[in-house]
Chains A and B, each alone.
Chain A
Amino acid sequence: MQPNDPILTLRDVQVHFPIKSGILKRTSGHVRAVDGVDLDVYRGEVLGLVGESGCGKTTLGKAILQLVRATNGTVTYQGDGGETELTTLDDAGLFAFRKRLQIVFQDPHSSLNPAFTIFGSLEDPLRHYGVKTRKERRKIVGDLLEAVNMRRESMDRYPHEFSGGQRQRIGIARALSIQPELVVCDEAVSALDVSIQAQVLQLLMDLKREKNLTYVFITHDLSVTEFLCDRIAVMYLGKIVELCDAEELYSNTLHPYTEALLSAIPVADLDRKSQRIVLEGDVPSPVNPPSGCPFHPRCRYAQPVCRTDVPQLRRYRGKSGQHLAACHLIDHPLAD
């Protein structure tokens, strides 16, 4: 992994959904699902994106793929052919880049079309990308299924004939079918039970090695990210509050929110006494986010300054000198 070779650069990405109310459908406010995210995804890394439900992880993932268009900011893809700003392209212009970016979905029950066989579902994208003959498509789909440890013959079966873990593997096979460079895994293992989770995670890691993939791994499960991420971004209310190497995050936690999240991981060790930090209340509404630091109403260290000023992501020393956190109360940021 080369640390300074970004494949994807996000600058001040915002996704706001208008709320329309009344008979005149006037916009009465915005859901700030993603509210100003700066992020680099490096080639060949696994970037974890964690946060609780409703913090905008999934929306950010979809904004990367342009499934949801960002209302502001830029998503830039850097490939062999130089930089391309995806956010400015229309559907026709995006076509060439669809091939590079793919997504694996959360719910294995709705991610496959129940009316088609596996082959039927997987062949259309292939045809779309120029695999002309049926024989070729059958071969490719068969190879893909074998790559995710399934039998070739499975391609003529319907989704309802498979278990959740199998379907998820088929979903992975579909994402890989057009040989993408970056795969967004949107809670790819959350719907599976733990033994199957491990299996699918192992498969994802094997595929990554084989095919030189980059993953953006969206999850709310911090024990999963520990297992497979190189770097982790913690999101809260549409903003990134902490971003650093995975190891660093677990050993040298800076942001109070991350601290609370980590304390909630169940540990199977009776001798280890960990103090559980219980967060009060819910995530504030993204329609009407709190002033200042979005986390201050639930933060146990909150000071007056947190209520008034929005903290910026600042760089801290850490092991690599690449530890970013957005909090007023952490001292000694590095000067840029």
Chain B
Amino acid sequence: MTDATVTRPRTRRDAQFDRIRDREAKLAGTTQRKGRFLSKFLNNRLAVIGFAIFAVICLMSLFAPLIAQHDPMSPNLRAIAKPPSAEHWFGTDKTGRDIFARVLYGGRVSILVGLGSALLSALIGVIIGVYSGYVGGWLDWIAMRISEIFMSFPQIILVLLLVAILGQSLVNLIVIFTLTGWGGIYRMARARMLSIREEEYVQALRSFGLGPARIAYKHMLPNALGPIMVNITLSTAAFILQEAGLSFLGLGVPLSIPTWGNILNAAQDLRVLEQNWWIWLPVGATISLFVLSVNFIGDGLRDATDPSQQG
């Protein structure tokens, strides 16, 4: 080491490189590499922060009955639109319901709908897109046409139809979001596969006579995962907001059940927006934090699965 490098002030990068060197020195000579993914993820500061926020929000929603002192549904006529206080941490809404409790309980529905439909539609989209994109031919043609039908169908009509047939419920909402949402991820997965298909390692696997499912899912999918994960995080946010919109129209979750979306909908009243900031700010911040944390986790997962990036 020369003097020049010693006198330079040490930066965070230096510390990071030191950690990498230490880890490699420790791993050198051993064949154990299983911790690589985890250690890379943990080494990503944003991802860890994101995961912490995500975990806190999820746990608080899950244990809402233990944390909230008020019933999210029962109105308190003596405390209508009161600002935050020791009694009501986030204040109360226009019917006197405790907003803190509503945010906690609302998280249960919103997370389930948002993350649930995003993961479900990603699962369907990836399963169909990866295989049909690799195999091509008539299977690809059929899958493409089906996705076009679903994507061109107006969501609101589909919702009306399903609500009319099955009634208003949470499960229906997830089904609708999945049906209308898988097309985007399917198309992305398919497009990635079309370009990966031409790579020579895929030709090599074919020349070994490996089956198409094995090549597509095991060998090609890991290389298509990056954009798919980003898409999942983005659609999670979109679904949470869509759920809010549909609930507002009375087509989603029944309005009496608190969700982040229908709490936020109160802010559509201009007077609430101007005078009762506590009604929309906490829940808005929670949605933003949640979406942001999912984004960070997605980024962290993508980087951790990309072998060409060092922790």
Interface residue ranges, A against B (CB under 8 Å): 62, 65, 67, 91, 94-95, 98-99, 101-103, 105-107, 110-117, 121, 124-125, 128-129, 156, 158, 160, 171, 174-175, 178
B45 in contact (CB, < 8 A):
no
Number of A-B contacts (CB under 8 A): 71
Chain A residue at minimum C-beta to C-beta distance from B209: A98
- A117 CA / B32 CA spacing, docked (Å): 13
Smallest CB separation, A169 vs chain B (Å): 14
Structural contact, A121 and B308, CB atoms closer than 8 A: no
Chain B residues in 8 Å Cβ range of A116 = 219, 222
With contact pairs A115-B223, A156-B31 given, residues A121 and B201 touching in the complex (Cβ less than 8 Å): yes
Interfacial chain B residues near A114, Cβ < 8 Å: 223, 307-308
Q: Are B223 and A113 in contact (CB under 8 A)?
A: yes
Q: How far is the CB of A18 from chain B (nearest CB, A)?
A: 14
Pairs across A and B, CB under 8 Å, 10 listed: A62-B203, A67-B203, A98-B208, A103-B207, A117-B33, A124-B214, A124-B218, A128-B209, A128-B210, A171-B204
CA distance A137 to B206 in the complex (A): 20
> In the complex, what distance in Å separates the CA atom of A111 from the CA atom of B307?
16
Min distance, Cβ B33 to any Cβ of chain A, angstroms: 6
Chain B residues near A117 (CB-CB < 8 A) = 33, 307
Contact A91 B209, CB 8 Å, known A116-B219, A116-B222: yes
Residue from the list B206, B214, B308 in contact with A67, Cβ < 8 A = B206
Closest 8 CB pairs of A and B: A98-B209, A115-B222, A125-B208, A105-B200, A111-B200, A158-B307, A160-B308, A110-B199
Chain A residues with Cβ below 8 Å from B200 are 105-107, 110-111
How many chain B residues touch A (Cβ–Cβ < 8 Å)? 22
B212 to chain A: closest residue by CB: A91
Expressed in whole angstroms, the minimum distance between the Cβ of B203 and any Cβ of chain A is 6
- In the bound complex, CA of A106 to CA of B218 (Å): 24
Other than A110-B199, A158-B307, give 20 A-B pairs with Cβ distance below 8 A.
A67-B203, A94-B209, A98-B207, A102-B207, A105-B204, A110-B201, A111-B199, A111-B204, A112-B201, A113-B219, A121-B201, A124-B205, A124-B214, A124-B219, A125-B205, A156-B31, A156-B33, A174-B204, A175-B204, A178-B208
Instruction: Collect the chain A residues with CB atoms within 8 Å of residue B214's CB.
Output: 124
Chain A residues contacting B199 (CB-CB under 8 Å) are 110-111
Contact of B207 with A67 in the complex, beta carbons under 8 Å: yes
Task: State A112–B207 Cα separation when bound (angstroms).
Answer: 14
Q: In the docked arrangement, what's the CA distance between A106 and B210, Å?
A: 21
Contact residues, B190-220 vs A (CB, 8 A): 199-201, 203-210, 214, 218-219
Q: Is the CB of B206 within 8 A of A128?
A: no
User: Is the Cβ of A160 less than 8 Å from the Cβ of B307?
Assistant: yes
Q: Is the CB of A111 within 8 A of B207?
A: no
Least distance between A62 CB and chain B CB atoms (Å): 8
Task: Tell me if A158 and B308 are in contact (CB < 8 A).
Answer: yes
Q: Does B155 contact A (CB under 8 A)?
A: no
CA distance A62 to B202 in the complex (A): 13
Is B305 an interface residue when CB atoms closer than 8 A count as contact?
A: yes
- Name the distance in Å between A34's Cβ and chain B's nearest Cβ: 17
B202 to chain A, nearest CB (A): 8
Q: How far is the CB of B40 from chain A (nearest CB, A)?
A: 12
Q: In the complex, A156→B307 CA distance in Å?
A: 12
- A103 and B219 within 8 A (CB): no
C-alpha spacing A103/B200, complex, angstroms: 10
Contact indicator B201/A113 (Cβ below 8 Å): yes
Residues of A contacting B209 in the complex (Cβ-Cβ under 8 angstroms): 91, 94-95, 98-99, 128
Choice from A91, A98, A99, A105 contacting B203 with Cβ under 8 Å: A105
Interface residues of B in 1-52 (CB under 8 A from A): 31, 33
The smallest C-beta distance from A58 to any residue of chain B, in angstroms, reads: 11
A178 cross-chain contacts in B, Cβ below 8 A: 208
B-side contacts of A65, CB under 8 Å: 207
Once the chains bind, are A128 and B208 in contact (CB under 8 Å)? yes
CA distance A67 to B201 in the complex (A): 13
Interface residues of B in 263-311 (CB under 8 A from A): 305-308
Chain A residues, Cβ within 8 Å of B219 = 113, 115-116, 124
Residues of chain B contacted by A121 (CB below 8 angstroms) = 201
From B203, B210, B305, A125 is in contact (CB under 8 Å) with B210
Question: Assuming the A-B contacts A114-B308, A115-B223, A116-B219, are A103 and B210 also in contact, with contact meaning beta carbons closer than 8 angstroms in the complex?
Answer: no
B203 touches A103 (CB 8 A): yes
Chain A residues with CB under 8 Å of B203's CB are 62, 67, 103, 105
- Shortest beta-carbon distance, B219 to chain A, in Å? 6
Residues of B within 8 A of A106 (CB): 200
Complex Cα distance, B205 from A111, in Å, reads 10
**Chain A residue at minimal CB-CB distance from B223:** A115
Q: How far is the CB of A117 from chain B (nearest CB, A)?
A: 8
> A155 — nearest CB in chain B belongs to which residue?
B31
CA–CA, A112 and B201, complex, Å: 5
Which residues of B sit under 8 angstroms from A99, Cβ to Cβ? Answer: 209
Residues of B within 8 A of A175 (CB): 204
Among A112, A115, A116, A129, the one with the most B-chain Cβ atoms within 10 Å of its Cβ is A115
